[in-house]
A and B are shown apart, each in its own frame.
Chain A
Amino acid sequence: AQKVTQAQTEISVVEKEDVTLDCVYETRDTTYYLFWYKQPPSGELVFLIRRNSFDEQNEISGRYSWNFQKSTSSFNFTITASQVVDSAVYFCALSENNAGNMLTFGGGTRLMVKP
């Protein structure tokens, strides 16, 4: 069965610090997708990134970067020079190719960025 673990339930940093949110997953499938979503205080889910299991290249988008390592079953998310607007709950999720696009979510990490 697929499983996603976000061990950090809450992280607090001061603005401009770098912060990494950890995500570890379990799957028996060889074809799968990993996702990160952001949930700001307003409650909606904002899609950040999708990564398929065949692409282990790290990705950078502005202050955001993602490190995908199949050897450790991890898909970690780093925010560089954090800002107050980054304060949100962040979810990592897994979708197996054989599971009909159904997402399994981690429990989420609440990030608080203080000014």
Chain B
Amino acid sequence: DADVTQTPRNRITKTGKRIMLECSQTKGHDRMYWYRQDPGLGLRLIYYSFDVKDINKGEISDGYSVSRQAQAKFSLSLESAIPNQTALYFCATSAPGPLSDEQFFGPGTRLTVL
């Protein structure tokens, strides 16, 4: 089984709808992240969480909110989706430590907002 899972994998929705993307991990990591990928821009950080009680905005948090329901679950919400939120969304996890370690990515959620 995959260590980091994302649901749904694909979603098409309409402008103004509320959407939730879910991320679960079995790696036991404290740190979780949400990124979006747009062509030519790489991945950009939306929100990150270092533990259940710690939520932080990333580079492009406007229009998004998150919820860290448990160590293993980190959800991203679009309260009122708009077309320019059409993108590929990735969840990632990492373990804290004295030196940075790699992030482990989920398979991605492709979101289309019409």
**Chain A residues with a Cβ under 8 A of chain B:** 4, 6, 9, 31-33, 35, 37, 43-45, 47, 50, 52, 91, 93, 95-97, 100-108
**CB-contacts of B56-105 with A (<8 A):** 58, 88, 90, 92, 94, 96, 99-105
A45–B109 Cα distance when bound, in Å, is 12
**Which of B41, B102, B110 lies at the interface centre, i.e. has the most chain A CB atoms within 10 A of its CB?**
B102
Minimal beta-carbon separation of B42 from chain A (angstroms): 4
Q: Which 9 A-B pairs have the closest CB atoms?
A: A105-B42, A95-B100, A45-B105, A105-B43, A33-B100, A101-B94, A107-B42, A101-B100, A44-B107
> Knowing A9-B40, A33-B100, A45-B90 touch, does A100 contact B50 (C-beta < 8 A)?
yes
Known A-B contacts A103-B43, A105-B43, A107-B40; the reply to A44 vs B99 at CB < 8 A is no
Known: A102-B33, A102-B45. Contact between A35 and B102, CB under 8 A?
A: yes
- CB contacts (< 8 Å) of A103 on chain B: these are 33, 35, 43, 45, 92, 103
**Can you name 18 extra interface pairs (CB under 8 A) apart from A52-B99, A103-B33?**
A33-B100, A33-B101, A37-B105, A50-B102, A91-B42, A96-B100, A97-B100, A100-B48, A100-B50, A101-B31, A101-B96, A101-B101, A102-B45, A103-B35, A104-B45, A107-B41, A107-B42, A108-B42
